[in-house]
Each structure stands twice: as C-alpha cells, then as structure tokens.
Amino acid sequence: MTNSPGMLNQQEKKTIMIAGIATLFFLATILFRDELYFVAQAKQYLSIHTILEFLSITVSLSIAIQGWMIFPQHLSRYRLWYSGVFLIVGIIDLLHTLSYKGMPGLIITESSAQKATWFWIAARLTQACMLFLIIFFPDKQVQSRQKTSMSKFYSPPRHENPSLLPIMNDERKQFEKTCFLMVVRPCTKNCLSPFGVPPIVSPFPVKR
C-alpha cells in the first residue's frame, strides 16, 4: 500500500516546518550571543551541569522509548538499533552525571573529575561509533521476536564474575577495569555477537 501524494506532502511540510524552527533558533543564538553570554559562579557549576545532563539523558531515553514502543508497527531494524544505542548512551551519561566531582558518587566508585570525563568520552564514542556502524547495514523489516532478543541490548551492563573487580591501589586502573567489565564488554558482546564477531578480549589479567 503506497502513501497518497497528499499524505506525503503533509509529511514534507511538517519536516520543513521543524527544520525551519530549528534554523531560526540556531540563528537567534548566533545573533544574540552577546546578550546570552554569562559567567556562572563556581558554586553554581554543579547545579547547572546536573540540570543540563539530565536534559541530555531525557532526550536519549525518549528516543529509546519511542523507538521501542513503535517498533511493533514498523518492524524497522534501524528503529530497533537506534533505540538500543540511545538507551546505552543515556545510561552512560547518567553514570557521568553521578560521578561528576561534587556528586555523591556511585556504589562502585566515588566521584571525581577524571571518572566523569571518562564516562563522558565513553558515551560520545559509543554514540558516534554505533551510529556510524548502523548505516552500513540496510534497513529492513524484521520479525517482532527480535525485540525480545534485543532486550539483552537493553539490560543493565553487568559482568559475569564480580570477583573480577578487586580494589586496586591505582585509581585510574581500577576505573578503567570497571568500565571495561561493566560497560564496554557487555555492550560490544550484545551488539556484535549477532554478526558473528567475537567479544573484545579483556586487556586486564584475570586471577585464576
């Protein structure tokens, strides 16, 4: 069943309107940049950062939920993968927010500027690399049961053996190992295993 010309034109008008509003908003920030510029006090940094990060997390999770909910109607592979990517990005951004210097920290580690920066880099790399890889696979309709298998992609990152996370004296090595075992390896394992690609081998020695 093909869309009628009227329906297609309506969608195009809606897209043009959204693009026009976004362009006007961008031009307004350029034209009035002097009026919009301000320097916040040091004690306000944490509050401003937390608010902006939660807005970013809300956008990521909204994309994930929207794609997850409309997947049964479209059965689009792209929508399913985009949902998974933005859910992971939202989770990592949440870890970045909670580990920012001045925040209470996470259960597994305390907050610091270094850890927050690494979480931010991990989120941006995950988003950029996964979106880049997705475009190499053609979009097609998939069976609805793949939504169930994709739930692994949505599951909270976890590692197989909690004993692999010993407390180390070197804070940076401890943080890098924690990120690999709880974020990098589970995500790559769930994303790449359907294509026959083996998971990333841990660069950290494992105690037997």
Return d(Cα 49, Cα 58) in angstroms, integer. Answer: 14
Range among 53-62, 75-84, 156-165 with highest mean pLDDT value: 53-62
Rg (CA), the chain: 21
Structure tokens at 169: 């004296």
Over the stretch 63-112, which tens digit does the pLDDT of each residue have?
999 888 877 776 777 788 888 899 999 999 999 998 888 888 776 677 88
Decide: 88 and 155 in contact? Cβ < 8 Å.
no
pLDDT at 7: 55
Give which of 191, 188, 187 is closest to 91, Cα–Cα: 187
Mean pLDDT on 137-146: 65
* 8-state DSSP, 144: T
Structure tokens at 200: 């990333």
Q: Is the dihedral of CA 83, 73, 15, 2 positive or negative?
A: positive
Return d(Cα 97, Cα 49) in angstroms, integer. Answer: 8
pLDDT at 164: 44
pLDDT at 23: 95
Percent of the chain with pLDDT over 90: 24
Beta carbons within 8 Å of 185's beta carbon, 6+ residues apart: 159, 199, 200, 202
Range among 42-46, 105-109, 162-166 with highest mean pLDDT value: 42-46
Decide: 119 and 100 in contact? Cβ < 8 Å.
no
